[in-house]
A and B are shown apart, each in its own frame.
Chain A
């Protein structure tokens, strides 16, 4: 084991190192050259719409799918060549419940614990402990068919934690959950990281990534289109976005000029509706903007300030159709380009 300790130390800093991961299903390239670096002890969010390749990426990292090209290492161990070691270091919670429907919660956990090499008594103890921790003790003996979506997800997560793996994959952990259950799930994930685990999660929700992740990779059509800390990404799209419509279409150029002067960003106009949109760093600026617009004699039809939606983040980041920007370096620059 001497040898592996050395290996661990070299790579301990990185829980995940993926280079050029690629996977094709038939003619459809689901993942097309994804690079990811996840530092141990952090929460890393992979953000993207349905079909962006998030699940496929996770399945490759979790040894469930063999990459067609590229390589990935988990704590320094290759996912294809040393898959059995990798499996000892990870816990996987899929989008769908990866637990047995016809068995009870306790039975499920005991079976997984036994498979992981725990003794009979130890398994029962561990199952009880995890059920307690996830607030499922009362439902322990009921068959899973009677479980709510949130309970199922919690049980699923509990099952991933039996062996206390240092790296946990969570594929859309809160999709389909009600807001309260969602907040509970977030709390659990935060607690996990406090105990030293690394979490890699995928999500479709910007606010979820915002709440949890230290770093985020935005993934679209199999590519990583942006990567950075939450603040870096936010800066690139603005905290909020302004939507503005003027009464007289002739005023559009004038209005854009004022918007750009006050907000110090570039604006864009949607051709069909004549709506001017611009990223806003602070929603407060809207007061200054309104004053300036009145001063310029421009009459407004509509104005709204909204949180940027995931769509806008994507439009901003992926802006130039299909042209994937290199990761990391200046998401802000891309944002500017995109907003032209």
Chain B
């Protein structure tokens, strides 16, 4: 009677840990799941489609004349700024959706499967890089249509785009953490906006730092978002690589190093 049970159980190699290779494979499968979901419900891409178009148009024509004299002089300033602002805000959605997803029964199944514990989180975050890519391409295209002609050339612009996507992915771990600890999706949205709004606006993304009061300049200059914006400007407008790029990448790595373990731990405890 229970020989079949035994044979089945013995046929597999039982391990009480998951290897790094398995963690990567599981995460990629979960990312594939995320992509399938996006494919099935394309309406969730609304925000990443319209926000870049509307924001780019709005900010450029409202502030262009006041800040740089005319719109075409403002484009090299505003396009990198709005690119960072738009793509980073898109990463809030990652946290919100993770919260919604976790409330569904399917997460119970993921927890009961012998897979790496980080996979459901890492997979969801990885799939969302598609959203960042869409937002990036649309913002840059919008800028191009309005007359933005980056001196750095296509190669450096692509590099800048990649930098923004990587940093947004890193930042999305912060919102994933909120997603895991918050009780409702709405509160994730609330907390995340509260964090991100000052960070993106108290930066050099829209306005030259010199026009701000001294005490504010201090904050703006240490704000990681400013460094990311500067890095993107250097890459796209001049085709140069500076210390801002290094600082941005280190910042991204630090965020992941802190928030990824924190998020996974809370996720496990919340079972």
Do A and B share a complex?
A: yes
A40 to B25, CA, bound (A): 33
Are A88 and B5 touching (Cβ within 8 A)? no
Are A99 and B12 touching (Cβ within 8 A)? no
1/0 per residue, CB under 8 A from B, across A141-159: the answer is 0010000000000000001
Are B108 and A94 touching (Cβ within 8 A)? yes
Nearest to B44 among chain A residues (CB) is A102
A329 to B22, CA, bound (A): 48
Are A94 and B40 touching (Cβ within 8 A)? no
Are A102 and B40 touching (Cβ within 8 A)? yes
Quick one: which of A71-98 are within 8 Å of B by CB? 75, 77, 81-85, 87-92, 94, 96-98
Most chain A CB atoms below 10 A, which of B15, B104, B114: B114
Most chain B CB atoms below 10 A, which of A4, A96, A102: A102
Are A41 and B1 touching (Cβ within 8 A)? yes
Q: Which residue of B15, B17, B36, B111 contacts A107 across the interface (Cβ within 8 Å)?
A: B36
Are B112 and A8 touching (Cβ within 8 A)? no
* Total number of A residues with any Cβ neighbor in B under 8 Å: 52
Does B62 belong to the interface (CB within 8 Å)? no
Are A98 and B8 touching (Cβ within 8 A)? no
Q: Given A84-B15, A166-B9 in contact, is the A115-B113 Cβ separation under 8 Å?
A: yes
Closest Cβ of chain B: how far from A14's Cβ, in Å?
10
Are B29 and A96 touching (Cβ within 8 A)? no
Does A64 belong to the interface (CB within 8 Å)? yes
Closest Cβ of chain A: how far from B180's Cβ, in Å?
16
1/0 per residue, CB under 8 A from A, across B112-131: the answer is 11110001000000000000
Prevailing SS type, chain B contact patch:
helix
Q: Given A85-B14, A197-B5 in contact, is the A66-B112 Cβ separation under 8 Å?
A: no
A103 to B104, CA, bound (A): 13
By a CB distance below 8 angstroms, the chain B residues around A112 are: 109, 113
A296 to B211, CA, bound (A): 108
Q: Which residue of A64, A65, A99 contacts B106 across the interface (Cβ within 8 Å)?
A: A99
By a CB distance below 8 angstroms, the chain B residues around A1 are: 13-14
Task: Show the binding face of A for B, using Cβ within 8 Å.
Answer: 1, 4-5, 8-9, 12-13, 15, 40-41, 62-66, 75, 77, 81-85, 87-92, 94, 96-103, 107, 111-112, 114-117, 143, 159, 164, 166, 195-198
Task: Show the binding face of B for A, using Cβ within 8 Å.
Answer: 1-6, 8-10, 12-18, 22, 25-26, 29-30, 32-33, 36-37, 40-41, 104-115, 119, 271
Task: Please name the 8 residue pairs, one residue from A and one from B, whose CB atoms are nearest each other, closest first.
Answer: A196-B4, A98-B109, A87-B114, A41-B2, A98-B105, A40-B2, A96-B105, A166-B5
